[in-house]
Structure 1
Amino acid sequence: MVTMWAENEARNWQRLARGGVKCPGRVSVRGNVVVMELVGVGESPVPRLKDAPLTPREYRTCYMDLLKTVWKMYNRCALMHADLSEYNILYHDAHPYTIDVSQSAAPDHSHAWNF
Structure 2
Amino acid sequence: MSAAGGPPNRSFRENRRVELTTPHQRTRSTLQTREFLARLLSQDAWPELPTQVRDEASRLLRHYPEAWHLSRLHDRIPEDWGSLAAVQEEMLGLPVRPAPDQH
Same fold (TM over 0.5): no
Which of the pair is proportionally richer in strand? 1
**TM-score (normalised: structure 2):** 0.30
